[in-house]
Amino acid sequence: MEKQARIYVAGHRGMVGSAIIRKLQEEGYTTIITRTSSELDLRNQEAVADFFEQERPEYVFLAAAKVGGIMANNTYRAEFLYDNLMIESNIIHQAYKTGVKKLLFLGSSCIYPKLAPQPLKEEYLLSGFLESTNEPYAIAKITGIKLCEAYRSQYGCDFISAMPTNLYGPNDNYDLNGSHVLPALIRKFHEAKINNQPTVEVWGTGSPMREFLHADDLADACFFLMEHYNGELFVNIGTGEDVTIKQVAELIKEIVGFEGELRWNTDKPDGTPRKLMDVSRLHDMGWKHTTELKEGLERTYQDFLANEVLYVE
């Protein structure tokens, strides 16, 4: 990407989009195009078409999405399917219509079948049934992958896709009704510490295994792929390492300094038993993460403390 290129980051205020902007600025890119959701409803086809005609971006990072944890995914199933389908369809189509040079679509590791072999290889897509709690979101993300493949096949568009593992970092969502496991645990342990509570409730059994990638590492990988990759097959982005929910809960407890006990609510769902990405293709290209989990969580907790008023209001 040329340093003066017009680059549109969709979803720039979210955890992923804001990390991509930090990376682009760090690399010296000066013409970064953004719109808030109040300025541009990405579900509105006409509004997105007008935006692309007006701004004419040359490169697009498609990080905008309706996201959430198990509870939010399972409760707002129609919204997670509809909103994400509309967002990605509108942006990908207008990128084609206005001649965008390259687009990167970001999906999620939940696209893989619930009981797929571990670690998850890219070729396992559509090889089995999805996890039921987040099936609508997964189907929307699979559709995004297939849209990029179809526009590449039919029109020759340089549209690529990347599937990140579970993410954490600055600008995460700490709403306990809609957040993912790491921000939820950070907030729970912090508030329990401040309020001198004897216990913290954690959902499930603690046995599921999860892989976690810092958002800044993801942004670095996205920039790397935009610069070096133009293949049809989507690319996994992760660390290739996983831990149990119990292990990560105890790590966050230690970092926050909560001295009480964990109480496991086994009436709540565990979700997929394991989701470890096979990142050998990305490693073979020459990219590897640099932020280890403990360091990343320590930085994330410091960011939470610095922005607590914004994150929990």
Q: 188-242: per-residue pLDDT in tens?
A: 999 999 999 999 999 899 999 999 999 999 999 999 999 999 999 999 999 999 9
Catalytic residue among 29, 112, 137, 229: 137
Strand partners, 162: 106, 235
Any known ligand binding at 166? yes
pLDDT of residue 73: 85
Mean pLDDT to the nearest integer, 8-14: 96
Q: Mapped to the 3 state alphabet, what secondary structure does 89-157 carry?
A: HHHHHHHHHCCCCEEEEECCHHHCCCCCCCCECHHHCCCCCCCHHHHHHHHHHHHHHHHHHHHHHHHCC
Q: Are 237 and 277 in contact (CB under 8 A)?
A: yes
Q: Are 117 and 275 in contact (CB under 8 A)?
A: no
Any known ligand binding at 188? yes
pLDDT of residue 311: 80
Reply yes or no on whether the pLDDT at 270 is more than 90: no
Any known ligand binding at 93? no
pLDDT-derived band at 269 (thresholds 50, 70, 90) equals: confident
pLDDT of residue 273: 82
* C-alpha to C-alpha distance for 203 and 156, rounded to whole angstroms: 46
Q: Mapped to the 3 state alphabet, what secondary structure does 5-69 carry?
A: CCEEEECCCCHHHHHHHHHHHHCCCCCEECCCCCCCCCCCHHHHHHHHHHHCCCEEEECCCCCCC
Strand partners, 210: 243, 275
Strand partners, 274: 209
Q: Maximum Cα–Cα distance for the chain, whole Å? A: 60
Q: 82-132: per-residue pLDDT in tens?
A: 999 999 999 999 999 999 999 999 999 889 998 899 999 999 999 999 989
pLDDT of residue 78: 96
Q: 14-32: per-residue pLDDT in tens?
A: 999 999 999 999 999 999 9
pLDDT of residue 74: 86
pLDDT of residue 179: 74
Q: Are 111 and 163 in contact (CB under 8 A)?
A: yes
Any known ligand binding at 14? yes
Share of the chain above pLDDT 70, in %: 99
pLDDT-derived band at 272 (thresholds 50, 70, 90) equals: confident
Any known ligand binding at 108? yes
Mean pLDDT to the nearest integer, 162-179: 89
Taking each helix axis from N to C end, the angle separating 293-306 and 245-256, rounded to the nearest 10 degrees, works out to: 50
Whether 137 is a known active-site residue: answer yes
**Domains defined for the chain, CATH in brackets:** 7-172+211-241+276-291 (3.40.50.720)
pLDDT of residue 121: 97
3-class SS of residue 76? coil
Mean pLDDT to the nearest integer, 290-313: 92
pLDDT-derived band at 181 (thresholds 50, 70, 90) equals: confident
Instruction: Tell me phi and psi for residue 141, to 5 degrees.
Output: -70, -35
Any known ligand binding at 16? yes
Q: 16-75: per-residue pLDDT in tens?
A: 999 999 999 999 999 999 999 999 999 999 999 999 999 999 999 999 999 887 788 889
Any known ligand binding at 216? no
Centroid of chain to Cα 101: 23
